[in-house]
Amino acid sequence: MMIEFDKVLKESLWNNSIIFLKDAIERIVSTNIDREIGTERGLILLTCSSIQVSMELALKSFIIDNYGVRSILVSSQYRMQDDEIIRLYNSNKIRTKTFEELKKFLKQNNNNILTEDDYDIISDFQKFRNIIVHFIPNLSDGDYFDLEYDVIQYAIHVLIKILKNGDDLIKSSEFLEHHLGWELREKLIKYEPYLHAMSSLVRQNSDKVFDCINCGHRTFSMEEQICYSCNFENHFYYLIDCCFCKEKKSVIYDNLNIKGNNHIMKGVCLNCGEDGMIYQCPDCERAHNIEVNCENQCLPGKCINK
């Protein structure tokens, strides 16, 4: 009985967390932002409060999922019988621990889903949320500018980690596309604070980050062959070394269609942006930029490796 109850509860909390996340993202990316003037202060405050509500719901859902519903209840309700807890829930009398207590619970239970930095970010937003709710934040234009970037970073780096239940196989951009919808994700790709958050996330996970051939942003992980901003995944294109910037395996070209195109296709370096015509030898399959360094390379009709 309790397993089923936990499941229903954690799913409801999770779904409500997504409603607040979607609301926050939808509002902030749908405004026509003039970056010179900055986003309206009220909108940034609303975004902060929606993201914080989303975080509080997500954290409860996560704890129920991993430790059961009793872990989120106040001590007076903790030892109650299962049917009593369900009865309290049905009459809206369930009482949960504070966000601070839940955060501590997660930390004490050695759940390594979050890093020390993540906990610090959570504490900062928690304090800020309290200022919004109980008083008026005293912030300059520059503070508001930073806050907009910080809140999106918080959503991408911390909140989504909790919502994904620590599943590293799902990328944050995939998660957002799936739960916010393609249209909203398209707007996010043009939103500076999102690109900034994705850029720092990809740099945490990948030593080499180059330009994405799909969206053009420098958020393409060379290790994973995935773009953190737009979800483009490279499964088919080949990569060769760049003769301009000397980077290894950074020039991308369409090897699927090159044979039907006289073995020549345009290629571009994802690191330095230089392009050139790539020749893939039909005999030995080696490829190179035929506009430069043609010595000791295969040429049409002449394979040097044969």
Q: Using the rule CB under 5 A, is 33 a contact of Zn ion?
A: no
Q: Using the rule CB under 5 A, is 240 a contact of Zn ion?
A: no
Q: Using the rule CB under 5 A, is 303 a contact of Zn ion?
A: yes
Q: Please tell me the distance from the alpha carbon of residue 54 to that of residue 81, in angstroms, as a whole number.
A: 29
Q: Scanning residues 198 to 237, which ones bind Zn ion (CB under 5 A)?
A: 212, 214-215, 227, 229-230, 232
Q: Which stretch binds Zn ion (CB under 5 A): 35-43, 103-111, 202-210, 274-282?
A: 274-282
Q: Please tell me the distance from the alpha carbon of residue 131 to that of residue 194, in angstroms, as a whole number.
A: 25
Distances from the Cα of 153 to the Cαs of 117, 192, 230, 259, in angstroms? 12, 11, 16, 44
Among positions 272, 275, 277, 290, the unique one binding Zn ion when judged by CB under 5 A: 272
Q: Which tokens in the block code for residue 243?
A: 């003769």
Q: Using the rule CB under 5 A, is 243 a contact of Zn ion?
A: no
Question: Rounded to the nearest 10 degrees, how much is the dihedral formed by the CA atoms of 115, 121, 124, 125?
Answer: -120
- If the CB atoms of residues 9 and 227 are measured against Zn ion, the closer one turns out to be 227
Q: Using the rule CB under 5 A, is 305 a contact of Zn ion?
A: yes
- If the CB atoms of residues 70 and 286 are measured against Zn ion, the closer one turns out to be 286
Sheet hosting strand 287-289, strand order edge to edge: 238-240, 251-253, 264-269, 275-280, 287-289
- If the CB atoms of residues 12 and 305 are measured against Zn ion, the closer one turns out to be 305
Q: How far is the CB of 200 from Zn ion (least distance, A)?
A: 16
Q: Is 233 helix (H, G, I), strand (E, B) or coil?
A: strand
Q: Please tell me the distance from the alpha carbon of residue 300 to that of residue 288, in angstroms, as a whole number.
A: 12
> Would you tell me which residues interact with Zn ion (CB under 5 A)?
212, 214-215, 227, 229-230, 232, 242, 244-245, 269, 271-272, 281, 283-284, 298, 303, 305
